[in-house]
Structure 1
Amino acid sequence: MTPYSLAFYLDVVTTGEVLGAGPAASPEHVTEVLGADFAENVCGRYAMFRDYGLVEFHWQRPSGGQPWSGHHFTLQVHRLAHQGRTAVSPVLRARYGRFAPRLRFGKLRRLLDRRGVPLVEIPEIPANAPSFRTFLQPASRVAVSVVGARGGYGAADRLRVGDVYSVHAPLSAAEVERRTAGTVLRGVRQAP
C-alpha cells in the first residue's frame, strides 16, 4: 500500500469519492462517513457546505423547503501546509495515517499513471493563470489544481510550484468544454 496520505489522494482521484461518499451524497451520508465533527456554513436558504478541514462537501436546493442535493466536494490540500494535523479529520487519520504538509503533483501523477489512471491538463480559468494549472481525470471527473507559479495568490505563496493546491469533483463536461472552447493549446507546459 502507498504510504500515508498518498493512498487517500489516489483513491479520491481514481473513484471520485471520499470514503465512498461522492459529490451527490446527502448531508446525512457524509456525516455517516466522515463523522459529526464539522463546521456547517449555510449560505441563504439555497446553499450549504460542511467543512471537515481538509474536506468540504457542498449542497444546493431549489427552495428552502426542499432537501439538499449534493453539488461537489473539494479537498483543500493547501490547508495542510498551514494547519497541519488539525486540517485532517480523525476519521481520515484513522484510515490513512499521517498526512504530509504538502502533496507533490509529480509524485501523485506517477502513482496514478502506474494504476492506469491518466490526468489530462485542461486550460485554467484566466483569472487563475498562470498561478494555477488544472488536470482532469476523465473517468472520475476529478480535477487537480496545482501551483503553477510563485506569487500573487495568497496561500499559494506559501506553497511551492508543483504542489497540489486542491482536488475538486466533479468537474463537469460543460465546464471542461467552456474552458477549452476557442482556446489554442499550443505551448501548454509539461506537468511539474
Structure 2
Amino acid sequence: MAKFNKVYTVSVEPDEYLLLQETVFEQSVQLSEDDLLLFDGKEKGNDWRTLGVDWLMAPEDGALKKPDIAGLGSSVFCVSARTADLLSEGLKSACEFLPLNLNGEPWFALNILGAEEAIDEKLTQWNMRNGKVSRVRRFNRLVLDKQAIEHTGLFRVNRAGLFTFTTDAEGSLYDIVKQHHLTGLVFSEVDAV
C-alpha cells in the first residue's frame, strides 16, 4: 500500500477554466444508435470509440482559460496528450485513458475504475432528511478510512456520490498536478483516519 498523509476531493474550476462538452454530432450519433458512452467505473477497453468533444463556451466565457485538465460533465476529467503522459504512470492502475478528439487534437478522458469501500462508518455523519440520506448533500461530515484506500492516485468511494478523490501519495493526481503546476483542478482536504 502506498504511503500517504492526506486525502482530497478533486473538482474542476469552472469559474476560471473552460469545460468540455460532447459535440452536437457526437450526441446525435449516440442517441440515434442508442449507444450512450458512460463513465461508470467499468473498463471500456476495445469497446470504446474516440469521442468527439468541444469547448463549452458562451459569450460570457470569453475570459475563461483553457486548462491542462478539463471537466466533461460534473465528474469526468479530461487531459491533453501532454498531461496524459505526465499522469499515465502514476494513475495506470486507477483509470483508463480513453481517447477524445478535440477539434483534431488528441485528448483523453479518465475513466476511473471501480470504487473503494472507504467510508468510516463510526465517524461519518450522514445528512438525514425525512429518514433518508439527503440526495443533495449526503454528509454533515465525511470521514474516510485510510487503510481501506487501495488506489491512492485517483478513486471514487462507494456511497459518496459523484465525489472523486486522490491522496498526497507519490505519483497521485494531487502529487503530479502540484509537481508540474497543472491547471484546472481544485483539491479540498477530506477527514481521513
TM-score (norm 1): 0.26
Q: Which has the higher helix share?
A: 1
The structure whose residues are more often strand, as a share, is 2
Larger radius of gyration: 2
**TM-score scaled by length of structure 2:** 0.26
